[in-house]
Structure 1
Amino acid sequence: GRGELARGGSSGTSNLVAEGDKVQVILDVQQFSPNEITVKTVENTVVVEGKHEEKQDEHGYISRHFIRRYMLPRDVEVNNITSSLSSDGVLTITAPKRVQQIEGGERSVPIVQTGVPAVKQAPGQETSIKIEQQN
């Protein structure tokens, strides 16, 4: 919702959030319509451009143009970047991180706990045999 971003002036707020397995750029572009915004990647930067042609308002003609460049971390999958625009004019660009490659070709494999036994115990195997002592 609107409360998430502090709106500052007409320049629009933006921030870059790195969390876990992805990096997100969040940018306020409410003055622009979707067809006036372009998002592209140049090497490991994301370039966001917004452009209004001249429009008339009560003060005369106005045109707006901005370019923002965001340096991305080296471990981001540039080819898999996606962007979305919310109805209230917040552009979110999501860049997934590459699976961590550890030096030497090692890779840690996550262990998934299934919660079920792999081998069903044979009946009677688990019961301990009690030896009754006779007096």
Structure 2
Amino acid sequence: MALLPYLLDDLRPHRIRDQLFGMDLSPDDFLADIIDRPIVRMKYVRPWRNLAAAARDVGSTIKTDRDKLQINLDVQHFTPEEISVKTADGYIVIEGQHEEKQDEHGYVTRHFKRRYALPEGCKPETVESRLSSDGVLTVIAPKSSQSKDERAVPITHTGPVRRKQHDDDQINGNAEEETKSPQKKRKR
């Protein structure tokens, strides 16, 4: 039952929430209106129609490997002064906001805020960010290597083991005890 909304998701129109406000239109956007007509939708379920939108979506990608966490975020609608990257309480916080502007359609204001958990062993002061000329913000959080306090302790060889001498002492000690025992018996 829990999968039913997921499976039937393509049977409902998604006009409002699929809009990318302020973005250019692509040919896929025009085809979506044709496919979304009720007569066409009722005949076939087409989960493939969302693949084109997913392929061109470069909004946010996160890559994690054993060396680093890398976040790529599309911030092409913001100037570098309107974007901030901070580390706070074990999180990377990326925020972008620009003031209300008027364009030919009315007023536009944009704001986003994303938080990503820092990986274990990552120091907040090692996080770095870069903004490309095409508006992709890349944030890299390198993971520190294993503990730097750990080191290999060399083993030095000192020479032959003194086990033979230790055995001789035990033998001599036992012999002395045996010789003392009879003397103690005589004193009584």
TM-score by length of 2: 0.48
**1:97 paired to 2:143:** yes
CA distance in 1, matches of 2:75, 2:55: 13
Cα displacement (A) at 1:95: 0.8
Larger RCO: 1 or 2 (CA < 8 Å, sep 6+): 1
Q: Which residue of 1 aligns with 2:87?
A: 41
RMSD of aligned residue pairs (Cα, Å):
2.1
1:24 is aligned, of 66, 70, 92, to 70
Higher CA-based Rg:
2
| Superposed structure 1 runs of 4+ greater than 6 Å apart | none
Amino acid at match of 1:30: Q
Normalising by the residue count of structure 1, what TM-score does the alignment of the two structures yield? 0.66
Q: Return 85-94 or 75-84, whichever deviates more.
A: 75-84
Task: Name the structure 2 match of 1:76.
Answer: 122
Question: For residues 107 and 74 of structure 1, what CA distance do their matches in structure 2 show?
Answer: 21
2:99 partner SS: coil
1:66 aligned onto 2:98 = no
Provide structure 2 residue ranges, at least 5 long, that are not aligned to the other structure. Answer: 1-53, 153-188
Q: Aligned AA for 2:60?
A: S
- Larger helix share, 1 or 2: 2
The number of aligned residues is 99
Instruction: Give the aligned partner of residue 177 of structure 2.
Output: none
Report % sequence identity: 54
